[in-house]
Amino acid sequence: MTRIDRRSFVAGASMMLLARPAHAARTVTDSAGRTVTLPDRIDHVFAAGGPASVVVYAVRPETMVGWPRALRAEERPFIAPAQRDLPEIGLLTGRGDTANVETVLKMKPDLIVDYGSVRQTFATLADSVQQRTGIPYVLIDGRFEASSSSFRLLGNIFGVPERGEALATYSDDLFKNLDTTLKGIPEEQRPRVYLARGPDGLETGLKGSINTEIIERAGGRNVADAQDQRRGIANVSPEQILAWNPDVIVTWDRNFHDKLAKGGDPLWQGVKAVKDGRVYLAPTAPFGWIDRPPSINRLIGLRWLANLFHGARFPFDIRQDTRAFYKLFYHVDVTDSDLDTLIAWADGKPPSRPARR
């Protein structure tokens, strides 16, 4: 089985053009403004990357042909049984964007969905893949502010508008409540936040990147502001961390969180967030609450962070709200023990490893 990069995929696909569904019943304008012709029925969907896999699973799970990577043991309890054992099919987009062209074409999807940035780079990729494979490819806006319209668009594409509307309503209510809360909190009173990535905590996301938009949307201020056009992920120095001296540190890396909790690194012990006990570990099952991937999984993280930042001004019942979100978006009734494991994660405790399901 040969893995190839994006350019090779496009070239290879052109030589393996498949016969596509003969009956194309409708067209749709995707978030990039592209007009895409869809088949009468959409029964099989290839998610182009991690963010797309989450939103496809949420809107119409029975169409999924696989996951970008196989689910891990700690993720399986939070995914519906019918989708837990879907195969690993790789990525067309995203970090480490390799795909196996034979596998993609073998799946014979009716549609390819990508979710995230709709910049020209991704629109061009979508056009190229679609032209060379004959498989319709839609690009859906993955920004927070576009959540509601993207849910409705996907609901219409998949032929389940009521499902898209239900998820859009959740999103609308969340952002409305956030706007009401944040309206009364001046910028200078909002916490200064550092997102720590990796085991040493020295990788972060710059202000303005999709990886960290959750900080500003929850009412925090990202200290990693490059003051220029740079976006995305960056490595920073220990001296820069001390200079920023953030009020809050958020991470999903358990090794890094453990290191700070044990007080073994003098660098971090002088940082305000550490001295004040405001270092938070985000849950990561079945998908990250902060990132990884930067998709709709962040909506529950947005509620959690807004409460961490602003307390009673943005109420959040971690048990009740988490159950409701996982039921609506992930199609599971979370058991008490699984919920305890997930919440222990948020409390900074190492979660137990669940029995395989």
CB 155 within 8 A of CB 50: no
Give residue 328's pLDDT band: very low, low, confident or very high (50, 70, 90): very high
Residue 194 backbone dihedrals phi, psi, to 5 degrees: -115, 130
The mean pLDDT of 98-103, rounded to a whole number, is 63
Measured on CA atoms in the order 304, 308, 311, 314, is the torsion positive or negative?
negative
Q: Is the pLDDT of residue 1 over 50?
A: no
The mean pLDDT of 38-45, rounded to a whole number, is 95
Q: Is the pLDDT of residue 31 over 50?
A: yes
Helices within 298-351 (DSSP H only): 298-310, 318-330, 336-346
HEC secondary structure over 216-280: HHCCCEECCCCCCCCCCEEECCHHHHHHHCCCEEEECCHHHHHHHHHCCCHHHHCCHHHHCCCEE
Q: How far apart are CA 208 and CA 225, in angstroms?
A: 8
Q: What is the DSSP letter of 50?
A: H
Tell which residue, 241, 237, 254, has the closest CA to residue 347.
254
Question: What's the pLDDT score for residue 92?
Answer: 84
The mean pLDDT of 291-302, rounded to a whole number, is 94
Q: Lowest mean pLDDT: which of 92-96, 206-210, 230-234, 263-267?
A: 92-96
Peptide bond into 286 cis (omega under 30): yes
Question: What's the pLDDT score for residue 267?
Answer: 85
Tell which residue, 71, 69, 107, has the closest CA to residue 90.
69
Residue 338 token pair: 């699984």
Q: Is the pLDDT of residue 299 over 60?
A: yes
Give residue 10's pLDDT band: very low, low, confident or very high (50, 70, 90): very low
pLDDT digits (tens, 9 = 90+) for 184-214: 999 999 999 999 999 999 999 999 888 899 9
Q: Is the pLDDT of residue 20 over 50?
A: no
Residue 148 token pair: 């509601």
Pairing of strands 137-141, 111-116: parallel
Tell which residue, 274, 291, 297, has the closest CA to residue 167.
297
pLDDT digits (tens, 9 = 90+) for 221-243: 999 987 776 678 899 999 999 99
Instruction: Indicate the helix (H) or strand (E) that contains 211.
Output: none
Measured on CA atoms in the order 322, 319, 334, 285, is the torsion positive or negative?
positive
pLDDT digits (tens, 9 = 90+) for 159-179: 999 999 999 999 999 999 999
CB count in 10 Å sphere of residue 275: 11
Question: What's the pLDDT score for residue 15?
Answer: 38
Question: What's the pLDDT score for residue 7?
Answer: 40
Higher-confidence residue: 95 or 278? 278
Q: How far apart are CA 353 and CA 184, in angstroms?
A: 42
Q: Provide the mean pLDDT of the chain.
A: 88
Question: What's the pLDDT score for residue 263?
Answer: 83
CB count in 10 Å sphere of residue 226: 13
Give residue 18's pLDDT band: very low, low, confident or very high (50, 70, 90): very low
Q: Which domains does the chain have, with CATH numbers?
A: 25-180 (3.40.50.1980), 187-343 (3.40.50.1980)
Q: How far apart are CA 285 and CA 197, in angstroms?
A: 17
CA distances 231 to 8, 21, 213, 227, 235, Å, are 27, 40, 11, 10, 12
CA distances 280 to 5, 178, 207, 258, 326, Å, are 36, 20, 19, 11, 21
27 CB burial (10 A radius; 0-12, 13-18, 19+): exposed
Question: What's the pLDDT score for residue 23?
Answer: 52
Q: How far apart are CA 112 and CA 47, in angstroms?
A: 6
Residues sharing a CB contact under 8 Å with residue 352, sequence separation 6 or more, in sequence order: 341, 344
Give residue 354's pLDDT band: very low, low, confident or very high (50, 70, 90): low
Question: What's the pLDDT score for residue 9?
Answer: 42
The mean pLDDT of 284-309, rounded to a whole number, is 95
Question: What's the pLDDT score for residue 19?
Answer: 39
